[in-house]
């Protein structure tokens, strides 16, 4: 379980096919405190740590299954790429964003990027099957970041990125055509499911 509050920007150090895709990611987190088997959200995808190390810098490794590669943007990762990271929520931690599972529902595409004061307004296009779960002033997780939806028009929705979010996540470099991991709000998913039986 996560909150969508990114706590580090990691960097992909190595990618290797071993049946599944194995990725080594540099992190500023204290790797001595990362247990093998721990969950870390990497660009919003809950992945299991399979190895850690400290040379030449702190890193952890994850195995990424074919299923995950087919549903997310992780198959497009490149060595050197920056990655939003969040360690799993602990009992007593502040819930600053919203409940995020790290189970990505689909991939959204950036349609427009426009400056708006000191912020940046980004319009995304969601897959048609997921668009009904996105509501104005509701929450979504995009590349692991808990965000508030400003407006919705069909399958398109807008998000405003304040300067702080652009600085402490990978959102400062977003451009039209980019693809991002989309996790819809868990509450929206269950409300929609319940309405099917009403």
Q: What is the pLDDT of residue 187?
A: 80
Nearest residue to 82 (alpha-carbon basis) of 184, 22, 172: 172
110 and 191 co-located in one domain = yes
Rounded percentage of the chain residues whose pLDDT exceeds 70: 99
Instruction: Tell me, yes or no, whether 95 lies in a domain.
Output: no
State mean pLDDT over 116-139. 95
pLDDT of residue 136 exceeding 90: yes
Q: What is the pLDDT of residue 43?
A: 98
42-99 pLDDT, tens per residue? 999 999 999 999 998 999 999 999 999 999 999 999 999 999 999 998 877 777 778 8
Instruction: Tell me, yes or no, whether 53 lies in a domain.
Output: yes
Instruction: Tell me, yes or no, whether 149 lies in a domain.
Output: yes
Q: What is the pLDDT of residue 99?
A: 84
CATH label of the domain that carries residue 23: 2.40.30.20
pLDDT of residue 198 exceeding 90: no
pLDDT of residue 104 exceeding 80: yes
State mean pLDDT over 121-129. 97
Q: How many domains does the chain have?
A: 2
Residues contacting 188, CB < 8 A, separation 6+:
133, 134, 135, 138
Q: What is the pLDDT of residue 146?
A: 95
180-194 pLDDT, tens per residue? 999 999 887 777 777
CA distance 101 to 144: 10
Q: What is the pLDDT of residue 15?
A: 97
From 27, 52, 87, give the residue that closes a domain.
Answer: 87
pTM of the predicted model, to two decimals? 0.92
DSSP codes joined into one string, 72-137: SSGGG--TT-EEEEEEPP-TT----S--B-S---EEEEEEEEEEETTEEEEEEE--HHHHTT--TT
Instruction: Tell me, yes or no, whether 101 lies in a domain.
Output: no
72 and 119 co-located in one domain = no
From 87, 115, 134, give the residue that closes a domain.
Answer: 87
Instruction: Tell me, yes or no, whether 3 lies in a domain.
Output: no
Domain that holds residue 180: 106-195
- Tokens 């996560």 -> residue: 2
Look at 108-122, 130-144, 177-191 and tell me which has the smallest mean pLDDT.
177-191
Instruction: Tell me, yes or no, whether 165 lies in a domain.
Output: yes
Instruction: Tell me, yes or no, whether 2 lies in a domain.
Output: no
């Amino acid at each position: 379980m996560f909150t969508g509050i990114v706590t580090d920007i990691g960097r992909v150090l190595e990618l290797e096919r071993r049946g599944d895709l194995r990725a080594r990611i540099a992190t500023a987190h204290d790797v001595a405190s990362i247990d093998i088997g721990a969950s870390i959200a990497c660009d919003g995808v809950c992945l299991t740590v399979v190895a850690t190390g400290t040379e030449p810098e702190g890193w952890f490794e994850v195995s990424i299954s074919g299923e995950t590669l087919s549903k997310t943007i992780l198959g497009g990762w490149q060595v050197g790429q920056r990655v939003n990271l969040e360690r799993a929520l602990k009992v007593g931690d502040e819930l600053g964003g919203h409940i995020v599972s790290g189970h990505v529902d689909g991939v959204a595409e950036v349609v427009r990027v426009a400056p708006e004061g000191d912020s940046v307004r980004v319009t995304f296009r969601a897959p048609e099957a997921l668009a009904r779960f996105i509501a104005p002033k509701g929450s979504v997780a995009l590349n692991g970041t808990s965000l508030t939806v400003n407006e919705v028009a069909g399958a398109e929705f807008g998000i405003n990125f304040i300067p702080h979010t652009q600085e402490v996540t990978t959102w400062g470099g977003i451009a039209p055509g980019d693809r991002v991991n989309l996790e819809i709000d868990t509450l929206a998913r269950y409300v929609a499911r319940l309405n099917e039986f009403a």
